[in-house]
Amino acid sequence: MSLGTTATALDLHPDRLFPAEPTVRSIARALYAEVVDLPIVSPHGHTDPAWFAEDRPFADPTTLLVTPDHYLTRMLHSQGVRLEDLGVRPRDGGPVAEPRDAWRTFAAHAHLFRGTPSGLWLDHTFATVFGFDVRLGPETADHYYDGIAAALAGDGFRPRALFERFGIEVLATTESPLDDLAHHDRLATDGWNDRVITTFRPDPVVDPDFDGYTANVERLGEMTGCDVTRWDGYLDALRQRRADFRARGATATDHGHPSAATADLDARECQRLLDGARAGTLDPDESEQLRGQVLVEMAAMSLDDGMVLQLHPGSRRNHSPRILERFGRDKGADIPGRTDYVDALRPLLDRFGLEPGLRIILFTLDESTYARELAPLAGFYPCLTLGPPWWFFDSVEGMWRFRRAVTETAGFANTAGFNDDTRAFLSIPARHDVARRVDCAYLATLVAEHRLTPDDAAELAVECAVGLARRAYGL
């Protein structure tokens, strides 16, 4: 979409993210050519299943691209832009900017994303999905808004059409155990149940510090008919809900715990902790014990039902209590924290670490653990696989640091490929493209240094793009 003004051109260079050195760049180009058109495997994310179940046109550019994307809103918030001015509605239902006004605010601050992953993803989305050839800025805000709004009104930009256009092989959403999964039932009716699958995220009923924990556990009991006041009944309720998710295509569970702590306690102590959690009387150490115990129970259940266990620890979630109180969870206020794995996972690994049927994917927001803890653990325990760089490190430099830190100890086979972990549907192709370019650049460096043969690099490029993720998630 051209504007015919003096606006800065939007041009995606074909060699972006490849090494500057000509020989290595040439190798990276050749490797990338082998993977650029491979399907997208998206085994972990947070897109709304209602989009694909109902297949309605997206409402407007702002509510699709800006308001729900906390990568974008947190950057503008850091520069003093109010979340309400970006369309983020307060919990009390207070006023927010109209979509076009919010878009203009976003466009006026587009320069803030220079050099960031969000900037790369946005440019890719604007150029390849919508065809813009000028950059977003104050002078092009309405040009962008009108062009995107017109596109979204067409059938070719409905969720399922975009899904097909993006070449997505499978996409996993993430739902609470209290979700009735009605959208996934609709998808099954329409024959899409093997294209869009769910993921079991039990945090609301396993974390005593989660908002409304006691009421959530009671609701879990109502949904399953289990006596959740008893430890064994509580576990039965979780098993039943896992089975419900498994029936809707789930291949994985996901656990966003504050730490990687695990525990292996006797039944009496488990009952005491459950009683205290429901009563709201646990101290922080006891809450940590309960979360750790449930994580071990989840590993045991994974041995029974085959679901992969994903652990996303180390995020100090909702760091700003004022933002949490006013706007709720997932508004960009999560902050990385130090995380221990070697000692924290010991109870789980002592019990299940050598079980051939268990698969655990470990993520981290503490990069200092890559070479010291995570790579050595995954390089020994058959059940452990390393997830890709996540949240703050889903970036060009973050991917390079990850590969350099873990490959020599864990190899490629003990990593899970790439997953986009996003709420921003239209950014999925961009995120996978960045990951493929970085992996090809890294592999090209190994080839140029004669640490890897060209044939091995070509095979590994395909593995990093699709093969590792398919195997890690049982897809």
51 vs 428: CA distance, rounded Å: 15
Best CATH choice for the domain 60-157 from the list 3.30.300.30, 1.10.490.10, 1.10.1740.10, 1.10.2020.10: 1.10.2020.10
User: How many angstroms separate the CA atoms of 217 and 208, rounded?
Assistant: 10
Q: How confident is the model at residue 7 (pLDDT cuts 50, 70, 90)?
A: confident
Q: Which helix (H) or strand (E) holds 255?
A: strand 252-255
pLDDT for the residue 114:
96
Task: Return the bridge partners of 175, or none.
Answer: 200
Percentage of residues in the chain having pLDDT higher than 70: 99
| pLDDT at res. 6 | 63
pTM as predicted: 0.95
| Reported confidence tier of residue 5, pLDDT bands at 50, 70, 90 | low
For β-strands 315-316 and 335-336, DSSP reports them as antiparallel
- From 426, 391, 425, 429, select the one nearest 40 (Cα to Cα): 429
What digits encode the pLDDT tens for the residues 13-33? 999 999 999 999 999 999 999
**Which pLDDT band, with edges at 50, 70 and 90, does 178 fall under?**
very high
Per-residue model confidence (pLDDT) at position 190 = 97
Tokens of 284: 């922080």
In this prediction, residue 3 carries a pLDDT of 57
Residues 264 and 351: beta-carbon distance below 8 Å: yes
Give the number of other Cβ atoms within 10 Å of residue 189's Cβ.
10
SS3 198: coil
Dump pLDDT digits (tens) for 455-466: 999 999 999 999
Q: Per residue in 199-214, pLDDT tens?
A: 999 999 999 999 999 9
Q: How far apart are CA 153 and CA 156, in angstroms?
A: 9
pLDDT at residue 180 greater than cutoff 60: yes
pLDDT tens-digit profile of 117-133?
999 999 999 999 999 99
Q: Label residue 439 by pLDDT band (50, 70, 90).
A: very high
Give mean pLDDT, residues 368-396. Answer: 97
Indicate the pLDDT class of residue 330, thresholds 50, 70 and 90.
Answer: confident
* CA–CA separation, 304 and 75 (whole Å): 43
Q: Which CATH superfamily is domain 22-59+159-472 in?
A: Metal-dependent hydrolases (3.20.20.140)
Q: Where are the domains of the chain?
A: 22-59+159-472, 60-157
Nearest Cα neighbor of 319 from 333, 303, 305 is: 333
- Residue pair 65/422 in contact by the 8 Å Cβ criterion: no
In the predicted structure, residue 232 carries a pLDDT above the cut 70: yes
- Predicted local distance difference test score (pLDDT) of residue 442: 98
Structural contact between residues 84 and 126, judged by C-beta atoms closer than 8 angstroms: no
Structural element, H or E, at residue 78: helix 70-78
- Confidence (pLDDT) at 317: 87
